[in-house]
Structure 1
Amino acid sequence: MLTKLAGAALLFALFPEAAFAAGDIGGATMGVAWALPFAGMLLSIALGPILFPHFWELNYGKFAAFWAVLVVVPLALFRGFDPALGALLHTGLLEYVPFIILLFALFTIAGGILITGNLHGTPATNTVLLAIGTLMASFVGTTGASIIMIRPVLRANDNRRFNVHVVVFFIFLVSNIGGSLTPLGDPPLFLGFLRGVSFFWTTTHLLPETLFAVVVLLALFYALDSWFFRKEEDYPPLRDPTPDRAIKLFGKVNILLLGGVILAILMSASWKPGVAFTIHGIAVEWQNLARDLILLALAGLSLTLTPKPVRAGNEFSWGPIKEVAKLFAGIFACIIPVLAMLQAGRNGAFAPLVALVSNPDGSANNVAYFWLTGGLSSFLDNAPTYLVFFELAGGNAQALMTTGALTLTAISAGAVFMGANTYIGNAPNFMVYAIAKDRKVAMPSFFGYMLWSGAILIPLFVLQTLIFFR
């Protein structure tokens, strides 16, 4: 095993004699081969659930560990133990741990909110349900909103002959685009927040693009659903397995706990005591530590205060968050050399990519940022994709929020919006697909879904490009 690892590590060795400071792994001297584990990690996530779903379900943690080892071992061998440890601690303490704690808190708290009862799935009702889920996504996350809303939407339409389009638009709006207005909405935006992007910067700068997309999609959905609704009049009515009954909300205490999540994050952005504790040169600021402890406490309160039947009604399990934690541990390890190379800019191995997103005068090509971020986010996980292009744009949050505001908007919109292009672009997509399929909805195949997104979303994104990013 050690022989194989050493042999693989030799692929990455460029300057083994170089000395680097703790945390500095010398991105300017790295070759493209250092990015191969990151590419392998993302391709495994994209293709594993499709090509060998059962094997993937049993072994996804081993895949993540394999690709992470192919980065960590060469870093220690050829860049030095201290630089490698510093880079790992920086990524782990300042990005991975806060990222997973937020997802854990949102997943736990949202899983304690249960909506029961049933409505009749008319075009107007369905449009309102999608609008509610879309708005909710920016405050409980796209995963949380999908967990809360997908079953009420499916129950409302389980006596409809034509209901596939309802789930497709649900994925477009609730599982993706709706999460674009706060760092709570979608993982890429929280990573931006951890890098220094202000909480409400996202709200103000993505509001026009989000509002445009939501209004267009809801209007299109209403027209399409009305057409299908009228078409069903030509068929005998189906038996409704869940007759209409009053809507009831359980687990209301979790709504207050979600408010606590928002307050904790706002606290960490505004309270700056100037105190930190240091581990191997990595400073963890007290406000961020306090935020993470509060989030864990809120999740604990949710588990304590929410009756077990409420979580059972949501078919709540720890499986999804365990998968996210393991896979993102691999992603964050594998992305370390990639970010270091991107920080080197035109002096690094990714100079051609820098040129691709730059105009001849050196300014940012925002159209390229939007489509490249979005195109990769369609097939690879949108959180690390966001980080790559955030770093490619300079990685300085203050500069990107001001002089580079349109560039950061393009990156953010591309990562969040275009995650809807495929089932694997954003984590909730496949979850919604699986739940709908289990409820006997004839969901389209992987490529069948792309026909829907290609026909509806791509023209929408072209319009957004012409209106907002040129």
Structure 2
Amino acid sequence: MKNLKKFLIFPFLSLVLMSFDSYASEFNGQALSLLWVIPFVGILLSIALCPLFLARLWHYHYGKVVAVWTLLFLGFALVSFGLTTTIELTVHAIVQEYIPFILLLLALFTVSGGILIKSDKISTPKSNVILLMIGVVLASIMGTTGAAMLMIRPLLRANRQRQYAVHTVIFFIFLVANIGGGLTPLGDPPLFIGFLKGVDFFWTVKHMLLPVVFTSGLLLIIYYFIDHYYYVKQYGVNSNPISAKPVKLYGLNNLVLLLAIIASVILSGVWHSSISFTILGSQIALQNLVRDGLFIAITIISIMITPKQVRAGNEFNWEPIKEVAKLFIGIFITIVPVLAILRAGNDGALASVISLVTNDQGAPINSMYFWLSGLLSGFLDNAPTYLVFFNLASGNASSLMTTFESTLLAISMGSVFMGALSYIGNAPNFMVKSIADQNKINMPSFFGYMKWSIGILIPVFIIDNLVFFVFF
């Protein structure tokens, strides 16, 4: 612990021995080398590898590990660009990107944790498919985090007597924690970030509807045959164990709060106030300030009106959202130079990446946007990955929704769908795994999970690519 604390301040030791100008130089993406990407990549590799090789250290000190990488970036930014520029960059990342993102997750996590669904029904392949379908629909209404936290426990209870339940949790992560959230900006963090950048709420609904329905349908069909195989293996062909006890719902007042969250997001998109506030160079529009305030109020109200027994029945605790909050603040800060380099286009250090997603005439290659944004989302977390490729494609929401709508669709599909490729691709993935482990489901390791995702998801995504970006 003492050694870790010493290591935490290491990035700033050099600053003690030198002075720096408050206005050292301009933060210019064209002048940044790929060395500035190291802290961002370091955080993401830590998320992927530390739980495997340094599990105890990560479990107790993951916040400190993220802080080391974040302070490393800030320390060198201070030396290179000065105090004023470093503060403005940090404030912009936190105020404009991180705070709206984490407040939405917090509101959805708290409200969904106040709704308890109890049922003694024993699952069949058909009933499991129905539960997954309900989760897919809810994911775009209350977010993948909210839907996953709401539906995972009823699904586990329904499968409590099934000898083979791992595949059900894995498909739950595929569908409810990821792909189901692709229909609206409420559904998944990447789409919410796009909404904050100016993508119209109903553009996402219109253009993502067919991909979400098509991809979910394929996966549900695959799941049904896999679950049917395991069901017959355990119970035999003619067995149909069911329970006559009805489903019981508790904490229904939180459903009203879910509607309030939806209304808050829509309000911030359709209301454009001329009033704004400036904090250290970052402008905050009044409608966004009101939206974030409503998220906080809804969270507090949910805590106050929900009986403790309901949250206890859901085994609710704050650790999952605390982990997401600590990890993502580092990600949102250290991604700043990555975005700056990408915005520099062919004049930046990542010009080779740009060449992969554009042809000789400079037109976007939508298939490459789909695969690159997707594959990176599976391992680097999908919210910042969406932001990277959104800016790479121009960063202009108006042109992306019209002239380059297929490019925006490719980025949206890739970032949302392929967040299911690994446990670290989307915030709810690890949360679902943790709950399943607590319920004595022997979930596979990081790479064991990827055997499922590569074997099932990659062929489905190849079909998606052919249908949406090659043939049509």
Category of TM-score, reference length = shorter chain: over 0.9
* 1:409 CA displacement: 1.0
TM-score by length of 1: 0.93
Q: Secondary structure of the equivalent of 2:185?
A: coil
What aligned pairs does 1:227-376 form with structure 2 within 5 A after superposition? 227-234=229-236, 245-376=245-376
Q: Secondary structure of the equivalent of 2:230?
A: helix
Other-structure match for 1:417? 417
* 1:310 CA displacement: 0.6
Matched residue count: 461
1:117, 1:244 within 8 Å by CA — same for their partners in 2? no
Give the whole-Å Cα distance in 2 for the aligned partners of 1:156 and 1:96: 36
Structure 2 counterpart of 1:415, one-letter code: S
Give the whole-Å Cα distance in 2 for the aligned partners of 1:4 and 1:302: 41
Q: RMSD of the alignment, in Å? A: 2.4
Give the whole-Å Cα distance in 1 for the aligned partners of 2:86 and 2:445: 42
Q: Secondary structure of the equivalent of 2:443?
A: coil
* 1:349 CA displacement: 0.9
Q: Deviations over 1:158-179 (max 9, x none)?
A: 2122222211211111111111
Other-structure match for 2:144? 142
Cα distance change of structure 1 residues 255 and 161 upon mapping to structure 2, 3 Å threshold? same
Q: Does 2:49 align with 1:19?
A: no
Q: Deviations over 1:26-67 (max 9, x none)?
A: 111111101110100111112222222221121111112111
1:374, 1:414 within 8 Å by CA — same for their partners in 2? yes
Q: Deviations over 1:238-286 (max 9, x none)?
A: 9x9x966321111111111110111111111111120111122321111
Q: Secondary structure of the equivalent of 1:360?
A: coil
Give the whole-Å Cα distance in 1 for the aligned partners of 2:434 and 2:239: 26
TM-score by length of 2: 0.92
Other-structure match for 1:5? 12
Give the whole-Å Cα distance in 2 for the aligned partners of 1:255 and 1:153: 19
Other-structure match for 1:199? 201
Cα distance change of structure 1 residues 272 and 4 upon mapping to structure 2, 3 Å threshold? closer
* 1:358 CA displacement: 0.8
What aligned pairs does 1:92-241 form with structure 2 within 5 A after superposition? 92-234=94-236
Structure 2 counterpart of 1:132, one-letter code: I
Give the whole-Å Cα distance in 1 for the aligned partners of 2:320 and 2:136: 21
Other-structure match for 2:30? 28
1:146, 1:175 within 8 Å by CA — same for their partners in 2? yes
Cα distance change of structure 1 residues 8 and 353 upon mapping to structure 2, 3 Å threshold? farther
Cα distance change of structure 1 residues 448 and 4 upon mapping to structure 2, 3 Å threshold? closer
Other-structure match for 2:403? 403
Give the whole-Å Cα distance in 2 for the aligned partners of 1:403 and 1:49: 43
Give the whole-Å Cα distance in 1 for the aligned partners of 2:331 and 2:277: 26
2:15, 2:75 within 8 Å by CA — same for their partners in 1? no
Q: Secondary structure of the equivalent of 1:166?
A: helix
Structure 1 counterpart of 2:321, one-letter code: I
Structure 2 counterpart of 1:333, one-letter code: I
What's the % identity of the aligned pairs?
A: 50
Give the whole-Å Cα distance in 1 for the aligned partners of 2:330 and 2:16: 17
* 1:456 CA displacement: 1.2
* 1:231 CA displacement: 2.4
Other-structure match for 2:3? none
1:9, 1:73 within 8 Å by CA — same for their partners in 2? no
2:23, 2:83 within 8 Å by CA — same for their partners in 1? no
Q: Deviations over 1:411-451 (max 9, x none)?
A: 11111111111222222222222222332323333222222
Cα distance change of structure 1 residues 8 and 32 upon mapping to structure 2, 3 Å threshold? farther
Q: Does 2:53 align with 1:48?
A: no
2:81 to 79, 82, 87: 79
* 1:131 CA displacement: 0.2
Gaps of 5+ in 1: none
